[in-house]
Amino acid sequence: MATHAHAPTAHGDAHDAGHAAAHEQGQQHPLGIYFKIWGLLFVLSIASYLVDYFHLQGFLRWSLIVIFMFLKAGLIVAVFMHMVWERLALVYAIVVPPLLLVTLLAIGALEAGYTVGTRDIYFGKEAPSAPAAKPHAQH
């Protein structure tokens, strides 16, 4: 492997000689991988549901939800949307731009902190119907 000459074909050259007739065009892979990913997505969904079911709190809840979320998203994009088999130029053109959202995320987080800070100053720490509850400490 190792040379980029392999990337352009992107038809899963190594592993499906059996479907030689069918994979002259487009993405053609053995069915098994789709069933495996399907199963994995089920397992990961059950796992993230259990996080809520067992009322895990704090950092553990937060980190588990995010880990399961990114695993699921990665599996869908990589296998169901065939990203692992695509040409690198396409992969980078699609995957890199959404990283800009991190900037917006940071701006949003700063703005939220600033807003709740001003509200605490001008309306008092205690909101009308919520004694002493900090906005991030839900549940």
Partner 1 sequence: MAPHEAIGTAGALRADPTALQAIAADFSSDQRAFKNVPWGKPMMWIFLVSDTFIFGSFLISYMTVRGSTQTPWPNTSEVFSLTLFGQSVPLLLIAIMTFVLISSSGTMALAVNYGYRKDRKTTFWLLVATAALGATFVGMQAFEWTKLIMEGVRPWGNPWGAAQFGSCFFMITGFHGTHVTIGVIFLIIVAAKVRRGDLDANRPGFLTGRRGNYEIVETMGLYWHFVDLVWVFIFAFFYLW
Question: Which residues between 97 and 116 bind partner 1 (CB under 8 A)?
Answer: 97-98, 101, 104-105, 108-109, 111-113, 115-116
Residues 63-92 that bind partner 1 (CB under 8 A): 65-66, 68-69, 72-73, 76-82, 84-90, 92
Among 2, 58, 59, 121, binds partner 1 (CB under 8 A): 2
Secondary structure (DSSP) of 34-54 = HHHHHHHHHHHHHHHHHHHHT
Q: How far apart are CA 106 and CA 39, in angstroms?
A: 35
C-alpha to C-alpha distances, 78 to 34, 86, 123, nearest whole angstrom? 11, 9, 48
Q: Counting contacts by CB under 8 A, is residue 47 touching partner 1?
A: no
Name the residue nearer to partner 1 (CB basis): 31 or 59.
31
Where do we find the tokens 């940071």? 106
Q: How far apart are CA 19 and CA 22, in angstroms?
A: 5
Q: Counting contacts by CB under 8 A, is residue 43 touching partner 1?
A: no
Q: Counting contacts by CB under 8 A, is residue 35 touching partner 1?
A: yes
User: Which residues touch 102 (CB under 8 Å, ≥6 apart)?
Assistant: none
Residues 5-34 that bind partner 1 (CB under 8 A): 6-10, 12, 14-16, 19, 22-23, 25-34
User: Which residues touch 3 (CB under 8 Å, ≥6 apart)?
Assistant: none
Among 45, 57, 60, 63, binds partner 1 (CB under 8 A): 45
* Least CB distance to partner 1 at residue 59 (A): 13
